[in-house]
């Protein structure tokens, strides 16, 4: 399910709808954090994707927090 949400996010990013992209990335992260079998690399990638969208919206402080969380 998280992969589907990530794909939807990518679609909305390409359509210049960052708020919808962010909505689906947060859903993907919820699913990933709720499943203990999710590889940590996937969680980190989703956090970095959130970071990129937030940065494009000018929310650099929150973006930085997600980048640090990915590390």
Q: Which domains does the chain have, with CATH numbers?
A: 2-70 (1.25.40.10)
Q: What is the structure's pLDDT at 57?
A: 96
Contact 46, 25 (CB under 8 A): yes
Tens of pLDDT, residues 47-66: 999 999 999 999 999 999 99
Interhelix angle 60-70/40-56, rounded to 10 degrees, is 170
> Each residue of 4-59: pLDDT tens digit?
999 999 999 999 999 999 999 999 999 999 998 899 999 999 999 999 999 999 99
What is the predicted pLDDT for the residue at 36? Answer: 86
**Which pLDDT does position 67 carry in this prediction?**
96
* DSSP secondary structure letters along 7-28: HHHHHHHHTT-HHHHHHHHHHH
């Amino acid at each position: 399910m998280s992969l589907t949400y990530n794909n939807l996010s990518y679609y909305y990013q390409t359509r210049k709808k960052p708020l919808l992209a962010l909505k689906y990335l947060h859903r993907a992260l919820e699913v990933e954090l709720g499943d203990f079998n999710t590889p940590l690399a996937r969680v980190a990638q989703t956090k970095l994707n959130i970071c990129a969208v937030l940065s494009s919206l000018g929310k650099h402080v929150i973006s930085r927090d997600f980048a640090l969380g990915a590390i």
